[in-house]
Amino acid sequence: MVLSSQHTRERALRGAPILALIIAIARALARLKTSARRAALLVCLLGVGVLAGCQTTPVHGLTPEQIAALKSEGFTQTDEGWEFGMSDTVLFDTDKFVVRDPARDTVLRIGRTLVKVGLNAVRVYGYTDSVGSDAYNEQLSARRADAVAGVLADAGMQRAGIQTIGAGKRNPVADNSTPAGRAQNRRVAIVISTR
């Protein structure tokens, strides 16, 4: 929601110079004779068309600078937006939700990059494997998402712009019947929405 309203304001500001140009042209045309008006109007419309065509509209509300920053940090584009996924073998000790130091440095760097390019609204999803009860996995995944959100806030993001979701064992990325698959499913994802 924040990205959407920010995007609308940015687009309106980019269009303001063109609107001012159109008003100035209309005033000048009002002073010309009829045949001169038509010729001037045609030239002006072509000029405005060229100027409007030169505007760069961000793809899905993101600027080229923001997209480049996301790519440089390892985010990949998905149906939900831009996603950075981290396995809990890097982030957390087994059955814990405190972010380990090496992973904390990575999350801090990502958070600082997002703030630097004006991306202040993110969703953090926490996931678990299928071992344990649904209720326990929901709680653990929510705590892991909250822990990563806390590190993003330490990096300068406003906590109000960070939405956390404990997804439990939903949306596995690997087979839960093997230890390697379960390790892949214990993860956290940082998502920048483009909707």
Q: What is the pLDDT of residues 26-64, one digit of tens each?
A: 676 677 667 666 666 556 555 655 555 554 444 458 999
Alpha carbon distance 9, 189 (integer Å): 29
Q: Percentage of the chain surpassing pLDDT 90?
A: 52
Q: Using alpha carbons, select from 80, 63, 61, 66 the residue that is nearest to residue 190.
A: 80
Please provide residue 62's backbone torsions phi and psi, each rounded to the nearest 5 degrees.
Answer: -110, 140
Q: What is the pLDDT of residue 101?
A: 86
Query: Which residue in this structure is represented by tokens 């584009």?
Result: 77
Q: Is residue 145 a contact partner of residue 166, using CB atoms and an 8 Å limit? A: yes
Cα distances (Å, whole numbers) of residue 127 to 23, 30, 119, 188: 55, 65, 23, 6
Is the pLDDT confidence value at 17 over 70? no
Alpha carbon distance 87, 92 (integer Å): 8
Is 42 or 67 the better-scoring residue by pLDDT?
67
pTM, whole model, 2 decimals? 0.67
